[in-house]
Amino acid sequence: MKLDFVFKSSDHIRYENGRHISGPHGGARRAVKVEPNINGGEGYTVTLYNLDGNHPLWQNNIQMAPKQMKIIQQTNEKMVLRGYGHDAMGGSFADYGLTIKLKNGELENCILHMHDRGVDIEYLP
């Protein structure tokens, strides 16, 4: 699978330390964008968008700022990305990861991992 896509999610489920905490929410639309590294480095850039409208303060629909990641595991059923490096403010991209689940070679769903918080957010089709 080519890692240059936008996965539009109808809803999501939040897990903390493996426990289901919330969701589905009856419609909380998001988009997960994976593209070649926008800074020209190795790997990919992962950005999340809120498809339900702009944030009142930020005046855009970015849910998670771009994070650079590389593939750390790949099988026929999934690809696992892990952040590397730091953002301009010194925040570690390694705190983030993304699992891309595949079914018959097609994108099934994505799970965002916030490793430093023990949070996983599963984005549903």
Nearest to 109 by CA among 1, 20, 12, 3: 12
pLDDT at 59: 76
**Below-70 pLDDT ranges, the chain:** 1, 56, 58
Report the C-alpha gap between 47 and 23 in whole angstroms. 21
Tokens of 79: 């690809």
DSSP 117: G
E strands present in 18-95: 19-22, 30-36, 44-50, 62-74, 78-83
